Amino acid sequence: MRGMHLPVGGACTTVGGADLAVDGAYLDVGRACLEVGGASRRRQFLTLSKASLLSECAETQACLAVSKMAATQESTAPVPPDPVCSRHGDPLCWYRLEDEQLVCESCKASSKEGHRFWTVTHAFEERKTVLEITLQTLREKLGGSRKAHGLFVEMAHHTKTQVQQTERLIKDEFEKLQKFLQEEKESRLAALKREEGQKSQKLMQMIKEMTKEISSLSHTIKAIEKHLESEDISFLQNYKSTIEKIHGVKTRGKKPGQIHNDVVEKFCKATKEKEPEVPTGALIDVAKHLGNLKYSVWEKMVGVVNYTLVTLDPNTASRCLSLSDDLTSLSYSPINPPPPDNPERFASAAEILGSEGFSSGRRSWDVEVGANTDWAVGVVRESTNRKKRTKLSSAEGILALRFSNDTYTVDTTQLSLWRKPQKVRVEVDWSTGRMTFSDAAFNSHILSTIELTFKEKVFPYFYSFCEERSLQIAPETRSIAEGAH
């Protein structure tokens, strides 16, 4: 039976190796036991091995095979003689601690002074205990490793889902921007065409009138030239009618001298003064269409695109919170399938953090709480335990204004508010440790102010346990210059 080798399948092929599998460790103990303890020890070992293997490793076929073989060997294997000392031929009944060797009584008697000995029974118990502790540790480690393995698999799967969703949302957002730009382009081209239509129509009208005038003048000039070419008598005979035609006036009742004096004089003066009227602003206002074009489009875009100072981090969201696509709104709604329990995620309540923490300066953000019946907003310390927490308090690393059961509390202090805020402003001055909650929709009326000391990075904190209403981070109304940063 010495050196009993049990085939254990692929994972643990031999017993007693330095890198024994967990279950092999039992077998190693057993072999040592057999070597020193004889038949009684062997039976003890086999009982131990069998029980251990059956109870601890029944899940694997390999280990079942081992246990069956152990049982078979127990019943059929011949019992070898007890091992004896190779020098003295006496039973090995002592265990020498210095070199961890089994020795006989004679060896013990002749050992160097100071050597320590245990009886075989005591040594067996001691060494067995050591290995059992090791085994228990390894089993716990195996359990932890299996759990981590499961989480990693879950996280790998989740990242694929995240990529698909995020890819879709990025495309959607760009489509919206492209649609906006396309509409803006069409609107500006239409404005150009409209101006072209108006101005070209006006110019065509002016050209038409001028053509008419040119024709009329040419006709009159020719008529006068022709008249001037006529003989004295006929010239004088036709003079009156020619004058009337030119000036478009009747000379009846007037003497020819009068016509010459007033009408002709006035006509010549007016004709000289009457310059063709060339209008200003008749050309296309190119500057209006092209000047700061990109800037003005961007300015308009900023007007229609929401900006929030805080964006939610979905990787911190409790599995009972769902978020809007733009990560500005949270609502209580269990997610299926639940996301993996990664370290950043809150496990105990319907909580989530803003995506960016800070450890200096002042920050402020508004949250539309509306008719939500159970909510909290504030900040949380980065190191706060996200898996096991019992209450919302500064002692647990969370400083928030909470509304629940129609009661407002900050940390552990109850507030008596005379009206329900619809939009809460959270202002945090990390450097001075001053934190203020105010009613953003009501003249920024201060609801509560707290003085404390921040020692580490803090993150915006949100909690919502209302199935009907969500919490919405309010968009900022910022100037273009600020928006550029």
Residues that bind Zn ion (CB under 5 A): 85, 87-88, 104, 106-107
Q: Indicate the SS3 state at residue 175.
A: helix
Q: Which is nearer to Zn ion, 108 or 240 (CB)?
A: 108
Q: Which is nearer to Zn ion, 8 or 102 (CB)?
A: 102
Minimum CB distance to Zn ion, residue 70 (Å): 31
Q: How far apart are CA 403 and CA 423, in angstroms?
A: 13
395 DSSP assignment = G
Minimum CB distance to Zn ion, residue 94 (Å): 9
Q: Which is nearer to Zn ion, 87 or 139 (CB)?
A: 87
291 residue type, one letter:
G
Residue with the closest Cβ to Zn ion? 85
* Of 366, 367, 319, nearest in space to 342 by CA: 319
Give the orientation angle of helix 120-229 with respect to helix 22-57, to 10 degrees: 90
* Of 143, 102, 144, 152, nearest in space to 122 by CA: 102
Number of C-beta neighbours around residue 259 at 10 A: 20
Minimum CB distance to Zn ion, residue 118 (Å): 16
Whose structure tokens read 């007890």?
82
Q: Which is nearer to Zn ion, 4 or 107 (CB)?
A: 107
Minimum CB distance to Zn ion, residue 85 (Å): 3
Q: Which is nearer to Zn ion, 87 or 168 (CB)?
A: 87
Sheet of strand 445-451, all strands in order from the earlier edge strand to the far edge: 321-323, 329-332, 471-473, 362-368, 423-429, 434-439, 445-451
Minimum CB distance to Zn ion, residue 43 (Å): 26
Structure tokens at 227: 């008249």
Q: If 0-12 CB within 10 Å is exposed, 13-18 middle and 19+ buried, where does residue 198 land?
A: exposed
Greatest CA span in the chain, whole angstroms? 178
Minimum CB distance to Zn ion, residue 86 (Å): 8
Q: Which is nearer to Zn ion, 106 or 178 (CB)?
A: 106
Give the orientation angle of helix 22-57 with respect to helix 61-76, to 10 degrees: 90
Q: Which is nearer to Zn ion, 89 or 257 (CB)?
A: 89
Whose structure tokens read 């939009």?
423
Minimum CB distance to Zn ion, residue 131 (Å): 26
Q: Which is nearer to Zn ion, 109 or 347 (CB)?
A: 109
For the residues of 23-67, what is the DSSP string, one character each? HHHHHHHHHHHHHHHHHHHHHHHHHHHHHHHHHHHTTSHHHHHHH
Q: Which is nearer to Zn ion, 87 or 362 (CB)?
A: 87
Q: How far apart are CA 214 and CA 220, in angstroms?
A: 10
Minimum CB distance to Zn ion, residue 37 (Å): 17
